[in-house]
């Protein structure tokens, strides 16, 4: 002990040795990881079109819902976040509850896709996927479940084709882009998207990721790595951490013309709420949404302000509509313990009651 420096040398040396031991074991463990078990729930490819794949999950119980459910994920990041690991898979939980689940994988767009528009995605790919499901299952309607930007697309689709949608579920979905909350919404209103699209054609996923990290720089780029040192010797925690890191940085590029319209018409023009949005020759009117609606938002969402999501319920004509929230963040909606204990059961029960 050096009293004048208030340092316990013996204790400091022990802590130094222990930390090195943890780091050594952690590095050894990371080198041995081979299978992260993401996206492992059994499924088949049911339909493909260009780079889009439509997966159909294998049933996991004897009694399955009459109405198939199509999940439409955002163009940003990858859809397997809903099947991130076997013991935290929203997909697996929904299947075990008796839902018949399809999901769209948008793939990784290349330069040849730069001219695809929102019209192509919604009136093209989503509509063709829905028609395929209707024909395959010999039914008249599907349940539509939209995630984040996929929820915006699903709401637009439901307003254009209400006769094909039995129930609409939206989760952490931006609808009212006029709200002045959240850094992403503030940036979106001032972003020179035209220059970026003209320069890149397809915006690199890494560029988009850098922007998302800047929304919470200390937490996303510093805190989580500093805190990791304390747990680096624990295999389960390290596997979960690396699994999430892989998903976060598995970012597809963004098709320029679609992103241009999304930013200009929605973030800047707020045309969806104003009833001024057009896709191709079709005018989008959210009042055409008459089917039951379950709209779920995350109370601590740093990407989509809750008020932006909640606005949908006042813009539709549905008489059977519910607004629900959970005390989680944007991603926690799918990977937290609440996703298994509360959120997935809520989704399944609400849809099965209206099957």
Mean pLDDT of the chain: 89
CA distances from 156 to 119, 123, 189, 208, 294 (A): 10, 10, 21, 24, 15
Query: Which pLDDT tens digit goes with each residue over 174-187?
Result: 999 999 888 788 88
Our answer to whether residue 148 is catalytic in this structure is yes
User: Residue 205 has what pLDDT?
Assistant: 83
Lowest mean pLDDT among 285-289, 321-325, 326-330, 348-352: 326-330
d(CA 208, CA 199): 14
User: Residue 190 has what pLDDT?
Assistant: 85
The stretch 295-303 carries a mean pLDDT of: 94
Its CATH architecture, for the domain 43-353, is: 3-Layer(aba) Sandwich (3.40)
pTM for this model (two decimals): 0.88
The domain locations on the chain are 43-353
Query: Which pLDDT tens digit goes with each residue over 27-69?
Result: 666 666 666 678 889 999 999 999 999 999 999 888 899 999 9
pLDDT beyond 90 at 347? yes
Is residue 11 within a helix (H) or strand (E), and if so which, with residue range?
Answer: helix 9-32
CB distance 152 to 266 below 8 Å: yes
User: Residue 55 has what pLDDT?
Assistant: 98
Question: According to DSSP H, which parts of 204-295 are helical?
Answer: 205-213, 217-218, 224-228, 235-248, 256-261, 271-274
Active-site hit among 148, 179, 273, 303: 148
pLDDT beyond 70 at 125? yes
User: Residue 87 has what pLDDT?
Assistant: 86
User: Residue 214 has what pLDDT?
Assistant: 67
Query: Which pLDDT tens digit goes with each residue over 75-103?
Result: 988 999 999 988 889 999 999 999 999 99
Percent above pLDDT 70 for the chain: 88
d(CA 208, CA 252): 9
- Beta strands (DSSP E) in the chain are 43-49, 52-57, 69-72, 101-105, 142-147, 165-171, 202-203, 254-255, 278-279, 282-283, 293-298, 321-326
Read off φ and ψ for residue 282, nearest 5 degrees: -105, 130
């Amino acid at each position: 002990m050096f009293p004048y420096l208030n340092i316990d040398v013996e204790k400091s040396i022990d802590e130094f040795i222990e930390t090195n031991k943890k780091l050594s074991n952690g590095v050894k463990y990371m080198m041995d990881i081979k299978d992260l078990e993401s996206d492992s729930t059994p499924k088949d490819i049911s339909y493909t079109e260009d780079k889009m794949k439509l997966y159909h999950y294998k049933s996991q119980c004897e009694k399955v819902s009459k109405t198939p459910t199509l999940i439409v994920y955002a163009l940003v990041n990858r859809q397997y976040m809903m099947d991130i690991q076997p013991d935290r898979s929203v997909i697996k939980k929904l299947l075990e509850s008796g839902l018949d689940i399809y999901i769209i994988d948008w793939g990784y767009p290349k330069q040849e896709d730069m001219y695809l528009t929102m019209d192509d995605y919604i009136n093209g790919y989503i509509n063709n996927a829905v028609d395929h499901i209707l024909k395959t299952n010999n039914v008249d309607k599907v349940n539509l479940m939209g995630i984040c930007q996929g929820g915006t697309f699903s709401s637009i689709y439901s307003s254009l084709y209400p006769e094909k949608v039995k129930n609409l579920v939206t989760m952490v979905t931006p609808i009212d882009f006029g709200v002045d909350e959240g850094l992403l919404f503030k940036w979106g209103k001032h972003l020179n998207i035209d220059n970026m699209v003209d320069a890149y054609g397809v915006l690199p996923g890494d560029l988009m990721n850098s922007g998302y990290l800047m929304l919470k720089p200390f937490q996303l780029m510093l805190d989580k790595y500093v805190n990791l040192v304390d747990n680096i010797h624990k295999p389960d925690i390290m596997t979960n951490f690396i699994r999430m890191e892989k998903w976060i940085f598995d970012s597809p590029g963004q098709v320029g013309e679609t992103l241009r319209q999304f930013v200009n018409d929605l973030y800047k023009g707020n045309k969806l709420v104003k009833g001024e949005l057009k896709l191709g020759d079709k005018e989008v009117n959210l009042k055409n949404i008459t089917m039951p609606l379950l709209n779920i938002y995350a109370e601590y969402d740093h990407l989509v302000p809750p008020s932006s999501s909640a606005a949908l319920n006042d813009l539709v004509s549905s008489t059977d509509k519910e607004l629900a929230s959970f005390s989680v963040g944007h991603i926690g909606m799918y990977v937290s313990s609440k996703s298994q204990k509360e959120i997935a059961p809520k989704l399944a029960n609400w849809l099965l009651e209206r099957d």
